[in-house]
Amino acid sequence: MELEYSSYHDYLTGLSNRREYYEQFKFLDQPSYYPLGIIVMDVNGLKIINDAFGHTAGDQALRTIANIFKDILGDDNIVARVGGDEFSILVPNTTLEKLENYKEKIYSSITSHNINNIKLSIAIGYNIKRNVIEDIDELQRLAENRMYKHKTLVGSGTRSSAIHAILETLTRKYGVEKKHSVQVGNLCKQIGEKMNLRGDEIKELEQAGLFHDIGKISIPDEILMKPGKLTDEEFKVIKSHTEVGYQILRAADEYSDLAIYALHHHEKWDGTGYPGKLKGNEIPLFARIITVVDAYEAMTADRPYRKRLSREYAVSEIIRCSGTQFDPKIAKIFVEKVLEEQWPEAI
């Protein structure tokens, strides 16, 4: 009995699975169940939740959404999880007005819930079959087209909001990270001004500095806030924040370039950095700028493993590592045109 149940139900949500959905589809495709409604749905931003907080958080989001379906649709309709973030519903003996009402109720209820400060969202499309002549595959395709249109309208805004929520969660949880991100963004902006970049480039550079460490949201507290020296394995986890940040930011088109800068802000001018071991001008310009500022700000701020270092020492390190760790031109601009104006005594 248990084996039979599991073969027709989704293990995570308890909803019908893909197999059960299509068997019910065939069964309900007859006049006594017409008009037969089809609702197709796709969760917005599930990958961002998984990347930022792990699959446990993503699973929680899926179970929350499944429970909403159960509350709204009851037992008279077939509700199925047909893919990782995809759901489909069959509504026998229905009307377009009823399907529209379901859409509105589902959407408003789901968007009233959040996981780790990220508001849940779903794209929805629907269609209806009125007679035997209508092709069921074509109706399904048209329902999916409506869903993709809805996703275009709400998906980008959802992903952007999710990314800001992740940064807010990270910086609220770790006060040192908030100060670090804001200061890095501000100093990057100042370098951009000294390099005579265009206004829109300076704004993007400041944003890149603000978001560069967003991938740290995935690092366990005991590693990120460890007061002592990291083990080799812990350092591997720390290094993963560049790739996690890339995945998070890449999810929204408007942050695609920021994703590249987040990925490469620990590359070194001599090619010994990570994750790509890029060298010299192979490293994107904004990533090279962040590298200099990130190192300086980290040295001059309190860290769980040590007290802040003096500005004088930090400046001497920037100069010493110019041409190896840092782009020498950017290091020179930072020291001589940004820091010297603010703290001439440190130069």
Q: For the chain, what are the domain ranges? A: 2-165, 174-346
Same fold, 2-165 and 174-346: no
Structure tokens at 8: 């027709």
CA distances from 154 to 62, 88, 111, 313 (A): 18, 19, 11, 49
Which range among 143-152, 204-213, 286-295, 299-308 shows the weakest confidence by mean pLDDT? 299-308
pLDDT for 175: 83
Is residue 212 a contact partner of residue 167, using CB atoms and an 8 Å limit?
A: no
Residue 1 has pLDDT above 60, yes or no: no
Cα separation of 107 and 104, whole Å? 5
pLDDT in tens, 320-342: 999 999 999 999 999 999 998 77
Q: What phi and psi, each to the nearest 5 degrees, are found at residue 42?
A: -140, 125
SS3 271: coil
pLDDT in tens, 10-39: 999 999 999 999 999 999 999 999 999 999
Strand 36-43's sheet: what is its strand order?
78-81, 86-91, 36-43, 122-129
Is residue 24 a contact partner of residue 105, using CB atoms and an 8 Å limit?
A: no
Cα separation of 173 and 182, whole Å? 15
User: Which residues lie closer than 8 Å to 191 by C-beta, 6 or more apart?
Assistant: 205, 289, 292, 293, 330, 333, 334, 338
* Helix or strand (DSSP H, E) at 80: strand 78-81
Which runs of consecutive H residues, i.e. helices, occur in the chain?
A: 2-8, 18-28, 46-53, 55-73, 96-110, 136-173, 175-194, 199-211, 221-224, 232-239, 241-250, 256-264, 285-299, 311-320, 328-333, 340-342
pLDDT in tens, 223-268: 998 988 899 999 999 999 999 999 999 988 788 899 999 999 999 9
**Residue whose tokens read 């039979």:** 4
| Class of 174-346 in CATH | mainly alpha
pTM: 0.89
| Class of 2-165 in CATH | alpha beta
The number of angstroms, rounded, from the C-alpha of 113 to the middle of its chain's C-alpha atoms is 17
